[in-house]
Amino acid sequence: MRIAVFATKAYDRRFLDLANAGFGHELRYFEPRLDGETAGLAAGHDAVCVFVNDRLDAGTLERLAAIGVRHVALRCAGYNNVDLAAAGRLGIAVVHVPAYSPEAISEFTIGLLLALDRKIHRAWARVRENNFALDGLIGRNLAGRTAGVIGTGRIGALVARTLRLGFGCEVLASDIVEDPALTAIGIRYVPRDALIASSDIVTLHCPLTPDTHHLLNATSLATLRPDTLIVNTSRGALIDTAALIQSLKARRVGGVALDVYEQEADLFFEDLSDQIVEDDIFQRLLTFPNVLVTGHQAFLTEEALTAIATVTLQSLADAEAGRPLAHALGADRIVRAGPAR
């Protein structure tokens, strides 16, 4: 199959090329993201392969359909950037990678939590300036604290198990589907609002849907315990950033670690070190000493990139051969609020 791969970086090419040795697809790489203006680059291709910040709205999909593209392969789990109803209407099949390496993201989540709680990022910056003072670096033990995990799919379940069994936290969970393996080890499922109000740590692991958009907002943030730590490695728009800033200013939040940001499409995955970033909300966020931001790298391990490439190319091989698509997305997923798998 002829595949136009958008928003590519060197690591994408490396792992897709390695995986493609077993499939024989014709891959053509494009650095720009896919949107209405760049859709024409896919002319002559059967499929497009895209990532989290590519924009596949109705207009983009109509342009793709007009030039003969019949397949969209997301090399990620999330699909909130695709108009699935339009894809179905246009006869474009959409597939994703529902589970590549939940360990990669769950481990990074725990790493962010530890760095935030023990102020490792601030200590690292100090030592580079030969400042070895410990003032302002006091953290708290995780053992015995209440951690709330919103979304207990494969990633959230691993985080919950690690916090419960590895660190001795009291763990609360919230999801529309309860995992009996988690309740068996003492994790309690509670309503989302109760979780937010009762936790010392809140970590987010759910997909972005109408139900979860801005689930941490001015109202819910006002119910937090003092000094609550927030970690988000899922989707940026789960948090209302403007409301979060107000909570930080009011000292209601103890610390925030973000690997995602709701307006990240204009920032992440690019080197902007020699440019002026005009996103005032993001720049304000970075001024807080108790905020740690990384650039959507939780997935970035060799194991995850290998799995993403293999599953993506297998789906397109199945499509080419007319086989059933195990990871197809249909219009029924538009408002689905299930766990991130």
Q: Is the pLDDT of residue 242 over 60?
A: yes
Cβ proximity of 298 and 51 under 8 Å:
no
Q: In this structure, are 90 and 174 located in the same domain?
A: no
Q: Which domain holds residue 153?
A: 102-293
Q: What is the distance between the alpha carbons of residues 310 and 296, in angstroms, rounded to a whole number?
A: 21
State the Cα torsion 142-254-120-102 to the nearest 10°: 60
Contact indicator for 92, 61 with CB cutoff of 8 Å: yes
Examine the domain organization and report whether 34 and 147 are in the same domain. no
From the candidates 75, 235, 262, 327, give the one annotated as an active-site residue.
235
Domain membership of residue 339 (yes or no) is: no
Q: Report residue 306 as tokens.
A: 């290998």
- C-alpha 157/C-alpha 149 separation (Å) is 8
User: Residue 91: left if φ>0, alpha if ψ -120 to 50, beta else—which one?
Assistant: left
**Of 82, 87, 76, whose CA–CA distance to 34 is shortest?**
82
What is the pLDDT, as a whole number, of residue 340? 33
Residue 201 shares a structural domain with residue 137: yes
Contact, 316 vs 22, CB < 8 A?
no
For the stretch 121-173, pLDDT in tens is: 999 999 999 999 999 999 999 999 999 999 999 999 999 999 999 999 999 99
Tell me: do 325 and 278 sit in the same domain: no
Query: Does one domain contain both 260 and 222?
Result: yes
pLDDT band at 73 (very low <50, low <70, confident <90, very high): very high
pLDDT value, residue 297: 96
Residue 113, CA atoms < 13 Å, CB-side half-sphere:
31
pLDDT at position 331: 59
Measured distance CA(48)–CA(33) in Å, rounded: 11
Provide the residue count of the chain.
341
Residues 180 and 71 in one domain: no
In this structure, the dihedral spanned by the alpha carbons of residues 11, 151, 311 and 48, taken in order and rounded to 10 degrees, is -70
pLDDT tens for residues 305-322?
999 999 999 999 999 999
Could you report the per-residue pLDDT of 264-298, keeping only the tens digit for each?
988 999 999 999 999 999 999 999 999 999 999 99
State the catalytic residue, choosing from 25, 205, 296, 327. 296
Place of tokens 């024409």: 40
Give 92-126 pLDDT, tens digit per residue: 999 999 888 899 999 999 999 999 999 999 999 99
| pTM confidence score | 0.89
Domain check: are 169 and 63 in the same one? no
Buried b (16+ CB within 10 A) or exposed e, 161-181: bbbbeebebbbbbbbeeebee
Whether residues 205 and 194 share a domain: the answer is: yes
**Count of domains forming the chain:** 2
96 is catalytic: no
Does residue 341 form part of some domain? no
Instruction: Examine the domain organization and report whether 110 and 64 are in the same domain.
Output: no
CATH of the domain at 90: 3.40.50.720
Asked whether residue 284 falls in the same domain as residue 161, the answer is: yes
Query: For residue 166, what are its two tokens?
Result: 């590895």
Q: Considering the domain boundaries, does residue 76 fall inside one? A: yes
Q: What share of the chain is helix, strand, coil (3-state, %, to 5)?
A: 35, 15, 45
Residue 121 designated active-site:
no
Q: Is residue 319 part of a domain?
A: yes
- Does residue 340 sit within a domain? no
pLDDT over 90 for what percent of the chain? 92
Q: Position of tokens 């023990």?
A: 118
Backbone angles phi, psi at 85, to 5 degrees: -65, -45
Question: Which tokens sit at 211?
Answer: 């139900």
pLDDT beyond 80 at 15? yes
Catalytic residue among 264, 278, 303, 320: 264
Around Cβ 283, how many Cβ atoms within 10 Å? 11
Same-domain check for residues 261 and 161: yes
What pLDDT score does 338 carry?
A: 31
Q: Is 129 a catalytic residue?
A: no
Q: Return d(Cα 29, Cα 150) in angstroms, integer.
A: 36
Q: Are residues 119 and 89 in the same domain?
A: no
